[in-house]
């Protein structure tokens, strides 16, 4: 798995590429989110456009990422969520926790809607 980071204004996108599974992708996501939180980044998008598969450990890394950012006053959004992940989020009722988007401009605008 590989993570490419890019920034649009004050929103950091982590473009995930490859399988998000135990022992590889989950650790990479956790480390990237922790680094961003430490750097003071508060708006993060995980882009799943090039993720063909994610296991339950990968899902737990996303939950931990949300908690890490939330604890520091940040927000996490998910973009281009593949069907299998969308179904997993629905079954686990995590759709109430995660905002998901298919469009980059919509996800960027969503951060403005939630600011106080």
What CATH number has the domain bearing residue 51? 3.30.750.24
Top pLDDT among 6 and 85 is at 6
Domain tally, the chain? 1
Once rounded to an integer, what is the mean pLDDT over residues 98-116? Answer: 85
pTM of the model: 0.93
Comparing 47-51, 58-62, 110-114, which segment has the lowest mean pLDDT?
A: 110-114
Q: Which residues pair with 46 in a beta bridge?
A: 14, 78
Place of tokens 């006053």: 73
Buried b (16+ CB within 10 A) or exposed e, 94-115: beeebbbbeeeeebbebbeeee
Once rounded to an integer, what is the mean pLDDT over residues 49-60? Answer: 92
Q: Which residues pair with 4 in a beta bridge?
A: 15
Average pLDDT, the chain: 93
**Enclosing domain of residue 37:** 2-113
Confidence band of 115 (pLDDT split at 50, 70, 90): very low
Q: How far apart are CA 64 and CA 26, in angstroms?
A: 10
pLDDT cut 70: percent of the chain above it: 97
Given a cut of 90, whether residue 27 has pLDDT beyond it is yes
Q: How far apart are CA 68 and CA 80, in angstroms?
A: 22
Given a cut of 90, whether residue 25 has pLDDT beyond it is no
Once rounded to an integer, what is the mean pLDDT over residues 12-24? Answer: 93
Q: How far apart are CA 78 and CA 100, in angstroms?
A: 5
Residue 79, CB half-sphere, CA atoms under 13 Å: how many? 22
């Amino acid at each position: 798995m590989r993570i490419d980071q890019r920034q649009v204004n004050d929103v950091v996108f982590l473009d995930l590429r490859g399988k998000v599974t135990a022992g590889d992708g989950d650790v990479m996501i956790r480390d990237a989110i922790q680094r961003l939180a430490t750097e003071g980044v508060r708006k993060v998008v995980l882009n799943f456009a090039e993720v063909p598969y994610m296991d339950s450990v990968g899902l737990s890394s996303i939950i931990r990422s949300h908690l890490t950012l939330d604890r520091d006053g940040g927000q996490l959004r998910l973009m281009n969520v593949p069907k299998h992940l969308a179904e997993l989020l629905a079954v686990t009722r995590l759709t109430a926790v995660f905002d998901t988007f298919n469009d980059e401009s919509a996800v960027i605008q969503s951060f403005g809607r939630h600011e106080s």
